[in-house]
Structure 1
Amino acid sequence: MSTFTAEHTPAEIVKVFPKASDLFKKRRIDFCCGGDRPLRAVFTEKDVDEAAVLSELNIAYESWSKEDHEIINWDNIALTELVDHIVYKHHAFLNEELPALGQFVTKIFRVHGANHPHLKELHRLYNDFKVDMEEHMIKEEGEVFPLIKEYEINPSEELAKRIHEANGGLEDEHEAQGDILKRIQEITNDFEPPADACTSYRITYARLSELTSDTFQHVHLENNILFKRVK
């Protein structure tokens, strides 16, 4: 792929050019839950300057493609290896980060909530996301991922049906979790702390930004690659 056009989907682009996820995050363009829609439809819906985004995207891709990168073609990786990557990279990150970051979110709400009312909503949204995501990962690791690993060894129509039924619920949960993160990004002004923010405030926003980026990549791997390959 040499040039991206408005007919490409965000999911297709991120598979070829992983760093496009940064641009999509900045522009609030969904590449995971709703990543299968052509960019043209997204541009129209969001009233985005198509030429400007495509120019920025293709200039960044041209520069990136000249560098030495190890590009993993997840479509050719064994399903078991892909599942393990999701668990040991993305689930491990969330299991460690969610409780720790939650303490920062609570701290800045307690200290600065009176002067920054949006921190009340941030506190509520974050804790909703934390609970939902922890339950979601338990379901994946305990039920769905073992089925996918079994399917790779002994594929059957019955097993595929069970996986598809389970995946439908997971994708709905992904969409709900993605909506929470999009709302967090909105109320934090794209994770830009206010001028009077203390160090803890700035750390919280930086870690929320990292959490959002990692989760979008995580969901992209599941929705647009893992689940589709089983289908």
Structure 2
Amino acid sequence: MSLIHQSVGSIAKQIPGATAVFHKYDLDFCCGGKHSLAQAAHARQVDPAVVEAELMRLPAVAAQADAESAAVVACDAGHSDVLIEHILQRYHEVHRQQLPELIRLAHRVEQVHGDRDDCPVGLAAHLEAMFQALQSHMLKEEKILFPLLLAQHNAQARMPIAVMRHEHDQHGAELQKLLDLTDHITPPRAACTTWRALYGGLREFKEDLMQHIHLENNVLFLHTEQAVAAA
């Protein structure tokens, strides 16, 4: 079956390894998860047939062995608590560890190399703003949205979900600015060890945040919205 007209969010959910392909071609499968593969590829000036061919070479079976796949399967079966716990531990806690160190490294690179044309001046301040926004976002989920979902108050969760989706779009815009500041997280040839460590961490953070948003937008929130519509 052709994947060209399927949404990238559904492909990321259904095909193990698809997110790695999307990262390779810089396709937005989290905030832009509702877009078709054709739309997402054209937005990045990529041939969707090339992406589809690479996706078709991936295993087309659910990889239920790893924790994330198991959590998605549990959510599909109506057990959103498993996915919520996974999101809290794998993403919320990890982001809180990632960003302070990335901010520290960014300050160091700007202090030492700020006179270079290729130095990402302003990156540390941008990461600080991202961290503040992400902290606020995660607290809203932890204190308001997730308790509603765990109590199965799905109708009451509709407005918080709408707010979280909007904030996810903002996170996506912030990630784009991060890419613009860092030449798509590409260190210059003469980059020092600290600079390379910073960009390695930024790449990991970007991929984690996109996967985090994907799991919420295209799995957790979607299931909740479908349950409300079916009630």
Using the size of structure 2 for normalisation, the TM-score is: 0.86
Change (3 A) 1:8 1:118: farther
Question: d(CA) in 1 for partners of 2:187 and 2:118?
Answer: 14
1:185 Cα deviation (Å)?
Answer: 2.4
**Structure 1 counterpart of 2:29, which letter?**
F
RMSD: 2.2
Instruction: Please name the residue that 1:101 is paired with.
Output: 102
Checking the alignment, whether the CA contact within 8 Å between 1:4 and 1:13 is kept in structure 2 is no
Instruction: Please name the residue that 2:121 is paired with.
Output: 120
Instruction: Please name the residue that 1:193 is paired with.
Output: 187
Question: d(CA) in 2 for partners of 1:18 and 1:132?
Answer: 30
For structure 1, list consecutive stretches of 5 or more residues without a partner in the other structure: 152-158
1:23 Cα deviation (Å)?
Answer: 1.9
1:81 Cα deviation (Å)?
Answer: 1.5
Instruction: Please name the residue that 2:216 is paired with.
Output: 222
Question: d(CA) in 1 for partners of 2:210 and 2:195?
Answer: 23
What are the superposed Cα offsets for residues 163-202 of structure 1, whole Å, 9 maximum, x if unpaired? 1101111111111111111222243233221111111100
**Structure 2 counterpart of 1:187, which letter?**
L
Question: d(CA) in 1 for partners of 2:22 and 2:15?
Answer: 12
Instruction: Please name the residue that 1:15 is paired with.
Output: 13
Checking the alignment, whether the CA contact within 8 Å between 1:26 and 1:190 is kept in structure 2 is no
Checking the alignment, whether the CA contact within 8 Å between 1:4 and 1:58 is kept in structure 2 is no
Question: d(CA) in 2 for partners of 1:75 and 1:67?
Answer: 14
**Structure 1 counterpart of 2:34, which letter?**
D
Checking the alignment, whether the CA contact within 8 Å between 2:9 and 2:214 is kept in structure 1 is yes
Question: d(CA) in 1 for partners of 2:95 and 2:131?
Answer: 9
What are the superposed Cα offsets for residues 33-63 of structure 1, whole Å, 9 maximum, x if unpaired? 111111122233433212222222222x14x
Change (3 A) 1:41 1:66: closer
Q: Report 1 or 2 for greater relative contact order, CA contacts < 8 Å, sequence distance ≥ 6.
A: 1
1:69 Cα deviation (Å)?
Answer: 5.2
The partner residue of 2:48 within 29, 47, 50 is 50
Instruction: Please name the residue that 1:209 is paired with.
Output: 203
Matches within 5 A, 1:60-139: 61-62=58-59, 70=66, 71-72=69-70, 73=73, 74-76=75-77, 78-116=79-117, 118-139=119-140
**Structure 2 counterpart of 1:150, which letter?**
A
Question: d(CA) in 1 for partners of 2:157 and 2:132?
Answer: 23
The alignment partner of 2:187 has SS state of coil
**Structure 2 counterpart of 1:127, which letter?**
E
Q: How many residues align?
A: 220
1:97 Cα deviation (Å)?
Answer: 1.4
Q: Which has the higher helix share?
A: 1
1:6 Cα deviation (Å)?
Answer: 0.5
Change (3 A) 1:111 1:172: same
Instruction: Please name the residue that 1:145 is paired with.
Output: 146
> Which deviates more, 174-183 or 115-124?
115-124
Checking the alignment, whether the CA contact within 8 Å between 2:11 and 2:18 is kept in structure 1 is yes
What are the superposed Cα offsets for residues 113-172 of structure 1, whole Å, 9 maximum, x if unpaired? 210455123223212211100111111111111111111xxxxxxx43321101111111
Change (3 A) 1:67 1:180: closer
1:25 Cα deviation (Å)?
Answer: 1.9
For structure 2, list consecutive stretches of 5 or more residues without a partner in the other structure: 226-231
Change (3 A) 1:121 1:25: farther
